[in-house]
């Protein structure tokens, strides 16, 4: 079924990535009030996975 509907699977992956991103950002915001290089690294990892 995944082969017949690759688009829906991609959407699910995007939603999951967005949720994990927001959760990671929330955890980092509570731990580190000041944004640093770690946040940029977190943002670059999902972007690389996308491509």
> How many Å separate Cα 20 from the centre of its chain?
5
35, 25 contact by CB (below 8 A): no
Structure tokens at 11: 């959407």
Over the stretch 1-35, which tens digit does the pLDDT of each residue have?
Answer: 555 666 688 888 888 888 777 877 777 666 655 55
Q: How far apart, in whole angstroms, are the C-alpha atoms of residue 23 and residue 8?
A: 23
Structure tokens at 34: 């000041």
């Amino acid at each position: 079924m995944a082969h017949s509907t690759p688009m829906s699977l991609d959407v699910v992956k995007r939603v999951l990535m967005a949720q994990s991103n927001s959760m990671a950002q929330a955890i980092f915001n509570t731990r580190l009030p000041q944004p640093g290089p770690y946040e940029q690294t977190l943002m670059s990892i999902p972007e690389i996975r996308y491509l």
